[in-house]
Amino acid sequence: MNYDVLIEKAIEVRELAYAPYSKFKVGAAVMMEDGSIYTGCNIENASFGATNCAERTAIFKAISEGKTTVKAVAVIGDVNSYTYPCGICRQVIVEFAEGPEIPIIIIKNKNEYIKKTLDEILPGSFSKKDLEL
Residue numbers at the binding site for ligand THU (CB under 6 A): 19, 22, 24, 26, 42, 44, 51, 53-55, 85-86, 89
* Active-site option among 8, 44, 55, 98: 55
Q: For residue 55, indicate whether it is catalytic.
A: yes
Q: Are 82 and 114 in contact (CB under 8 A)?
A: yes
Task: Considering the complex, state which of residue 32 and residue 85 has its C-beta at the smaller distance from ligand THU.
Answer: 85
Shortest distance (Å) from residue 44 CB to ligand THU:
5
Q: Are 70 and 97 in contact (CB under 8 A)?
A: yes
Beta carbons within 10 angstroms of residue 12's beta carbon = 14
Shortest distance (Å) from residue 85 CB to ligand THU:
4
Shortest distance (Å) from residue 42 CB to ligand THU:
3
Task: Considering the complex, state which of residue 50 and residue 133 has its C-beta at the smaller distance from ligand THU.
Answer: 50
Of 49, 45, 95, the C-alpha closest to 70 is 95
Count the helix, strand and coil residues of the chain and give each as a percent rounded to the nearest 5: 30, 25, 45
Shortest distance (Å) from residue 30 CB to ligand THU:
13
Q: What is the DSSP letter of 16?
A: T
Task: Considering the complex, state which of residue 54 and residue 122 has its C-beta at the smaller distance from ligand THU.
Answer: 54
Of 74, 75, 69, the C-alpha closest to 99 is 69
Task: Considering the complex, state which of residue 46 and residue 133 has its C-beta at the smaller distance from ligand THU.
Answer: 46
Name the residues annotated as catalytic: 55
